[in-house]
Chains A and B, each alone.
Chain A
Amino acid sequence: DARVTQTPRDKVTEMGQEVTMRCQPILGHNTVFWYRQTMMQGLELLAYFRNRAPLDDSGMPKDRFSAEMPDATLATLKIQPSEPRDSAVYFCASGSSKTQYFGPGTRLLVL
């Protein structure tokens, strides 16, 4: 049963610390998405990759966020330095415009 996995599931950190979230897309999916979900803003697209190349990261605050795909089995989203307003659930999804398969999310709390 193929699924997207994300680690960690929960992360509590202090303001100013670096946070790295990891995602393993479904094998064979060439498009990977990073979303952020909050009560106030809903689901926001931060960045997405096709064949490991970044296609759009306009939704991401560039000064502190970075997203990479070092290989086809791993996508990372890094926040440095983290701020309390970054507290949210971060989802990775893989697939296509026909269907996206979401991971369980990383719940981030920045104190």
Chain B
Amino acid sequence: SQQGEEDPQALSIQEGENATMNCSYKTSINNLQWYRQNSGRGLVHLILIRSNEREKHSGRLRVTLDTSKKSSSLLITASRAADTASYFCATDHNNAGNMLTFGGGTRLMVKP
């Protein structure tokens, strides 16, 4: 299966709740990134976490990385209806040049 598999595939929550998405990968990485895609649009880079980092914050986003488990999580706190989108993790592997490998994505719906 693909590197960077997200879990769950779909998530529906109420506005104000937190949303947690997980990503697993198979081989060692230089960094892991999260992207967001609104319906009908291109992907937008959200945050990057390097392989030697364990946690990173950006506004309402918190990303964790556990290289021993080859997994990452993206937490969106105090979600808003505008956070409704698909979220993808992407992995930069040591021998892949500038290539990123994208997972299948989590479709998040935040209900007002």
A93 to B31, CA, bound (A): 18
- Stretch in contact with the other chain, from B18-26, B69-77, B95-103: B95-103
- Assess whether B42 is in contact with A104, with CB atoms less than 8 Å apart: yes
DSSP class of A's interface residues: helix, strand, loop or mixed? strand
- Assess whether A31 is in contact with B2, with CB atoms less than 8 Å apart: no
A49 to chain B: closest residue by CB: B98
B35-72 CB mask vs A (1 if < 8 Å, else 0) is 00000111111001000000000000000000000000
Q: For the side of the interface on B, what is the size category?
A: 20 to 34
A48 to B101, CA, bound (A): 13
- Assess whether A98 is in contact with B31, with CB atoms less than 8 Å apart: yes
Q: Which residues of A contact B104 (CB under 8 A)?
A: 42
| Residues of B bordering A, CB below 8 Å | 2, 30-31, 33, 40-45, 48, 88, 90, 92, 96-105
| Residues of A bordering B, CB below 8 Å | 4, 31, 33, 35, 42-43, 45, 48, 50, 55-56, 91, 93, 95-105
